[in-house]
Amino acid sequence: GKSVISLDDLSIPQITDLLHKAQYIDAHRREVAHACDGRVLATLFYEPSTRTRLSFETAMLRLGGKVIGFAGAQLASVTKGESIADTLKTVSNYVDVVAIRHPKEGAALVASRAASVPVINAGDGGHMHPTQTLADLATLQSRFGRVTDLTVGLCGDLMFGRTVHSLIETLCRFGNVRFVLISPDELKTPQYVLDRIDATPSCSYVEVKDLVSVIGDLDVLYMTRVQKERFFNEDDYLRLRDTYILDEDKLALAKEHMAVLHPLPRVNEIAVEVDDDPRAAYFEQVKNGMLMRMALESTVMGDELPGYEPFENKEV
């Protein structure tokens, strides 16, 4: 089995196959209900989560497998000083696959090196969140029929936003994306992510502070939360948290086909009134997140889905 720390661990054909597999799973839920019978997933969550943990777990249960783990490290032996490596050397004896979320960048990589089963990064600090990107890609695919040739605005905390970093890096690999990076000066996109766009001839970016002046150009608006847990200083958080609030007035300036994405949880950055707008795609993202995790979990364990023909074997 193969660990997935960043989506760079998967080839574009493998990611494309996962997108097709998730669609297949959605249409054949009963057929796949025993694909992972006898398997066990561990969810090791050292940081809060609603969607990621519950969807990893639901994904395994819907494939016939079982789940163990902890949500919040306070009940685990890390409180006694146990290292991530020792935890993974232990848990590898119990399960077939691990999903780990940790507040420190690089923790999932450390975990994968210690583990003898596949480890999936469920978010490592402000670094990467590859399975969120799989959900995002599935949502773009279902809204536009493609993940390329799009103008993608990303708005809010682009510095600590791990979902943003994973998504930009992966869209660069597919190519032909114009990024509009909308953030306050204090929360601009890290240089290593900008370097990735610069290294991709078919992609480009602009950095702006104002959402209203660019919203009309966008095919996709990916909103993000200003993340209180990543700030060292509460005053900075309070000053920046409500910089961008998407409401119906701003949405009136956007294209009719624009899709609004958000990894969730949201705080104030998307007004609840937007939920009823056909452009709101963030609860579709949630559903796609579970389907993509079903596709990924079964794939990293090498479990075939009855009736599924791998994408490579199909005529395109």
62 annotated as belonging to a binding site for a ligand:
no
Contact pattern from residue 257 through residue 286 relative to ligand CP, giving x for each residue in contact according to CB under 6 A and a dash for the rest: ------xxx---------------------
Distance of CA 284 to the CA centre of its chain: 13
104 is catalytic: no
239 annotated as belonging to a binding site for a ligand:
no
- Spot the catalytic one: 2, 20, 28, 51: 51
Shortest separation between residue 230's beta carbon and ligand CP, angstroms: 13
Distance from C-alpha of 247 to C-alpha of 242, rounded to nearest angstrom: 12
Q: For residues 108-127, which are near ligand CP according to CB under 6 A?
A: 123
User: Alpha helix (H) ranges present in 97-161?
Assistant: 107-114, 130-144
User: Quick check: helix, strand or coil at residue 242?
Assistant: coil
101 is catalytic: yes
Pick 153 or 263: Cβ nearer ligand CP: 263
129 is catalytic: yes
- Spot the catalytic one: 16, 52, 87, 163: 52
189 is catalytic: no
CB 67 within 8 A of CB 41: yes
Shortest separation between residue 234's beta carbon and ligand CP, angstroms: 21
Interface stretch with ligand CP, choices 25-33, 45-53, 75-83, 302-310 (CB under 6 A): 45-53
Give 39's contacts (C-beta < 8 A, 6+ positions apart).
60, 63, 64, 65, 66, 96, 97, 301, 303
39 is catalytic: no
User: Quick check: helix, strand or coil at residue 221?
Assistant: strand
Taking alpha carbons only, the member of 138, 130, 113 closest to residue 26 is 138
Q: For residues 211-250, which are near ligand CP according to CB under 6 A?
A: none
Pick 251 or 264: Cβ nearer ligand CP: 264
Interface stretch with ligand CP, choices 47-55, 64-72, 245-253, 295-303 (CB under 6 A): 47-55
Widest Cα–Cα separation across the chain: 56
Pick 72 or 265: Cβ nearer ligand CP: 265
> In the Cβ-directed half-sphere of 71, how many Cα atoms lie within 13 Å?
11
User: How many other CB atoms are found less than 10 A from the CB of residue 313?
Assistant: 7
Enumerate the active-site residues. Answer: 51-52, 80, 101, 129
Which residues of the chain form contacts with ligand CP (CB under 6 A)? 49-52, 123, 132, 263-265
